[in-house]
A = this chain, B = another copy of it.
């Protein structure tokens, strides 16, 4: 695998935006101990790998991750037009940054959605979000009220497109009946295959909506020392190692290629601040597994043969 592999781009939905297949997840930005100038360098190195899309949320890093990104954007304003910015709203965390919150809960009121999106713009020091997601399915969500907030944000030019995260199909279809959604950001990995089997990816493919995938490496559990892994992770790791050797790439690259190959055309979020790890993710976009390789991994995860 050449270090010159670059992430391809994809229109994520009919009439939707064009994003990079590999998306820079900045969930842990605050823990990377980077100066603002180092953050600028990190963003420029990501761009050089073809990664043009950034994933954020109001709550990441205890409400600080967006501001840390914003400091870098302020230092290097030319980055504003080179990235697509994704953020999320709808969860209220208990935090000394939000003293009004008495307990963790969801809020998908129009007032909170609009205020949260506007705060994300200020924190990231940008004029427009390319995509705003409802972070979790709120059992109290009023689809008409959410659609009204989306329309307001779209008409004012503050957000271009809208989507959801962690929604079941009935929740997705409810909100999509009121406003066009361009993605469902969900968990998928060899350690967490639920979206593959519960209909989530079926509906995405049916609607030609590319899912965005979080925790695509299973939180790193596949890459611990063998002795620290449970039996299932050991099984998967062994097959990853074998295929990685066959294709001369890293096991992490194989784990992500396994996801990217799904016909729903998933986008994969990275979670690392190390450029080498991000390069491994980008490398996955150039890999095509054979069906036998793909199913060898599926079977290692499921602990059984296909029926």
8 further contact pairs, Cβ within 8 A, besides A104-B306, A105-B295, A173-B206: A106-B306, A139-B197, A139-B262, A139-B298, A142-B205, A166-B307, A169-B170, A174-B206
Q: Closest Cβ of chain B: how far from A188's Cβ, in Å?
A: 11
Q: Let me know if A182 is at the binding interface, CB within 8 A.
A: no
Copies of this chain assembled into the complex: 3
Q: A202-B170, A203-B174, A206-B174 are in contact. Are A141 and B263 (CB under 8 A)?
A: yes
A143 / chain B contacts, CB cutoff of 8 Å: 205-206, 263
Max chain B Cβ within 10 angstroms of own Cβ: one of A103, A139, A141: A139
Interface residues of A in 71-119 (CB under 8 A from B): 91, 102-107, 109
* CB contact between A299 and one of B103, B262, B306 (< 8 Å): that residue: B103
- A203 CA to B175 CA, complexed, in Å: 10
A246 / chain B contacts, CB cutoff of 8 Å: none
A170 / chain B contacts, CB cutoff of 8 Å: 169, 199, 202-203, 206
Q: Closest Cβ of chain B: how far from A136's Cβ, in Å?
A: 6
Q: Closest Cβ of chain B: how far from A198's Cβ, in Å?
A: 8
A177 / chain B contacts, CB cutoff of 8 Å: 206
Q: A142-B263, A143-B206, A263-B141 are in contact. Are A106 and B171 (CB under 8 A)?
A: no
A292 / chain B contacts, CB cutoff of 8 Å: 102-103, 105
Contact A105 B306 (CB under 8 A): yes
A277 / chain B contacts, CB cutoff of 8 Å: none
Residue of B at shortest CB range from A139?
Answer: B196
- A262 CA to B64 CA, complexed, in Å: 32
- A296 CA to B106 CA, complexed, in Å: 11
Contact A291 B140 (CB under 8 A): yes
The 7 closest A-B pairs by CB, nearest first: A170-B199, A142-B263, A105-B295, A170-B202, A174-B206, A174-B202, A177-B206
Q: Let me know if A294 is at the binding interface, CB within 8 A.
A: yes
A106 / chain B contacts, CB cutoff of 8 Å: 291, 295, 306
Max chain B Cβ within 10 angstroms of own Cβ: one of A104, A140, A144: A140
Q: Closest Cβ of chain B: how far from A254's Cβ, in Å?
A: 15
Q: Let me know if A154 is at the binding interface, CB within 8 A.
A: no
Residue of B at shortest CB range from A299?
Answer: B103
A169 / chain B contacts, CB cutoff of 8 Å: 170, 199
Max chain B Cβ within 10 angstroms of own Cβ: one of A107, A170, A171, A199: A170
Contact B145 A173 (CB under 8 A): no
Q: Let me know if A168 is at the binding interface, CB within 8 A.
A: yes
Q: Let me know if A11 is at the binding interface, CB within 8 A.
A: no
- A141 CA to B202 CA, complexed, in Å: 9
* CB contact between A140 and one of B139, B142, B174, B263 (< 8 Å): that residue: B263
